[in-house]
Structure 1
């Protein structure tokens, strides 16, 4: 759970004295080997402030890979875990460019920071006093009462306004409402829309008829959700980060599913279900390609294949194959194909002097780690196994390791 910050902690950390203390603590290693010595030094210099200082430095170091500007921000452990990565928030902000936006679950302000760059009026509200105080520090904006939102009529001076308000009680006339319900219930992660905080059905009812974007877990069962707008699944550097429900007024015409593949090193790739999905049925090509998780979760595997001249190993399996590998994707070059049986496979790996062994599975009930232990690869040459089901047959493709 991490350290429980108080409002006094936030006020001190946000002061000139707090900034100086954080710079001092930030210069220390705080590694397992130095921690006891570092803590003793910090306690001598800062007394009861030591825990808040160490936790803030620790969180800032963790945040650098996720959020831009994290070196000067304040966090709580939970809020940092839940914060939208800057690249994802920036992509969403670009879709809302030029509109007034109210983030009704603003937390520490990660989403607001990106919205403020491109939107003329941005409102953030939350019920958590500590997170709201932290957002005020991070965005350099003092919080006001909920009544002030209505008085500002969605156009706060300086383009950002913060207030304490209940997400289920609409209090602004902003053109777009954004919400990010907490995905934990009773201390556990949940995919049940009714157990989100605030509950998704209640949130949708509260803003019925409004343009709404709701961030949610990519594991949500979209088919049973009955969403009338667009569902966008976003990944960043190969990891699926979130799904976003866009109400019909914010959705692109003819689009109900979108996959957004974001990368730190190349331009984003965006795919929708309005694009063609006609692909041939052919024997495996030279390569196997495992599509990005956002493409798979959005149900756009065939669309991705059509776009890149690929086809499926099996119509029910998400692995793709072809004679070329799309730019930026990992490809597994096929060396051999056989029915999946452990003894012949072990013999073939031994013949090829297989050592390091990557195992990918889909459509078969296998534990890669347990299988690797049974295969006992002890050679020097790295290989990859792609194990899947072709028709009714469990099949293994022996591949080069990318």
Structure 2
């Protein structure tokens, strides 16, 4: 759960004395081995606020891999966990370019910073006064911030964006949209008739949001980060599902408006495991059609082809056969495989348990794709390659 900040804590951390104390605490290792010593130093630095200082330094260190330019930011633990990674926030913000926009669950301001770079005007609001005070620090003195209930509209003629809380008071993740804060359907009802975007966890069942005109799944560097539900003028005409893939070399997107004609065939020269955003958006066939690939099975997301798409990690096929543990062990010994990546889809196989039973030995490494083709369990032995 982390430390519970107060408004007095925030005021102190923003003061000259607080900034100086933060600099002193930031110089400490704050590792498990140095914990007792470092806490003692922090306590001497500020007897009344040392816990807030230590927590802030630790949160800033965690934020470095997630948020750009957040060295001087203030967070709560929950707020940092739910904050949108900067590349994803920037991607989402671009749909609001030139618009007036109201972030009705602005928290500590991570999305507001991205929106302010492209929108005509931004408003941020939240019910938590501590997070609003932190947003004032993070977004700067010119950012318009309000204390307001997201379910009671406090603006007009703006597009609206929201990121409902998805954890309870004990930090446990909530999965049902009616348990979100604010609840998903109540949020949609409150802004019916307004252009609305709602950030959600990527595992949500999108059938619970029939009011969404477009559902977008977004991944960053191979990890699916979020879903966004777009309505009305923020949605793309003719598109109901989209996958957007962000990585260090740029980004690309695919939608259900594209063709989805692809055959089903036996494994070819390559196996391709589509990005998770493509899989969760239900766009595997569209991705296959775009790149001239085919499915191994209509119900399985693995694809195959003679040439893999550029810029991905693909798997060159060495051999494939009916899967049994005994047959796989024999094949791995014949190839001298001592290190094995195990990918599974469509079979009830635990990779870690299987790896131990295989008793691997040899100088080489490989990947095995365990899947079902029709009713036949199949093992495809491959070598991973970056295309």
TM bucket normalised to smaller? over 0.9
Q: Distance in 2 between matches of 1:22 and 1:390?
A: 58
Do the aligned partners of residues 103 and 283 (structure 1) sit closer, same or farther apart at CA in structure 2, a change above 3 Å counting? same
SS at match of 1:279: coil
Q: Does 1:342 align with 2:325?
A: yes
Map of 2:50 onto structure 1: 50
- Give the aligned partner of residue 252 of structure 1: 236
Deviation at 1:97, TM superposition (A): 0.3
Task: Pick the aligned partner of 1:291 from 260, 266, 274.
Answer: 274
Match for residue 150 of structure 1? none
Structure 1: gaps (5+ residues):
142-157
Aligned twin of 2:163: 180
- The separation in 1 between residues aligned to 2:64 and 2:292, in whole angstroms, is 38
The aligned counterpart of 2:101 is 101
Q: Is 1:14 matched with 2:18?
A: no
Matches of residues 1-400 of structure 1 in structure 2 within 5 Å?
A: 1-141=1-141, 158=142, 160-185=143-168, 187=170, 188-263=172-247, 265-400=248-383
Q: CA deviation at 1:52?
A: 0.9
* Aligned-pair CA distance for 1:281: 3.1
C-alpha offsets along residues 190-214 of structure 1, whole Å, 9 cap, x if unaligned? 2211111111111111111111001
CA contact (8 A) 2:150 2:182 kept: yes
TM-score, length basis structure 2? 0.96
Deviation of residue 127 (structure 1)? 0.6
Following the alignment from structure 1 to structure 2, what is the Cα–Cα distance between the partners of residues 14 and 334?
58
Task: Name the stretch that deviates more: 218-227 or 290-299.
Answer: 218-227
Q: Decide which moves more: 223-232 or 248-257.
A: 223-232
What secondary structure does 1:184 align onto?
Answer: coil
8 Å contact from structure 1 (residues 382, 401) kept in 2: no
Computed over aligned residues only, the root mean square deviation of the Cα atoms, in angstroms, reads 1.3
Return the offset for 1:59. Answer: 0.5
What is the SS of the residue equivalent to 1:209? Answer: coil
Q: Using the alignment, how far apart are the partners of 1:33 and 1:295 within structure 2?
A: 43
Deviations 1:328-362 (A, max 9, x none): 21111111111111112112112222111110000
Structure 1 runs (4+) deviating above 4 angstroms are none
Does the CA-based 8 Å contact 1:106-1:124 persist in structure 2? yes
Tell me how far apart the structure 1 counterparts of residues 351 and 249 of structure 2 sit (CA, whole Å). 31
- Judge conservation of contact 2:202–2:225 (CA < 8 Å) in 1: yes
Find the aligned partners of 1:321 and 1:19 in 2 and give their Cα distance.
56
Aligned partners of 2:104 and 2:131: how far apart in 1?
A: 13
Q: Measure, in 1, the Cα distance between the counterparts of 2:328 and 2:211.
A: 46
3-state secondary structure, aligned to 1:70: coil
Distance 1:39 1:171 in 2: 43
- Count of residues paired in the alignment: 384
User: How far is the alpha carbon of 1:138 from its aligned partner?
Assistant: 0.7
Question: Residue deviations 1:215-254, cap 9 Å, x none?
Answer: 1111111235323400011011111111101002211110
Distance 1:5 1:168 in 2: 25
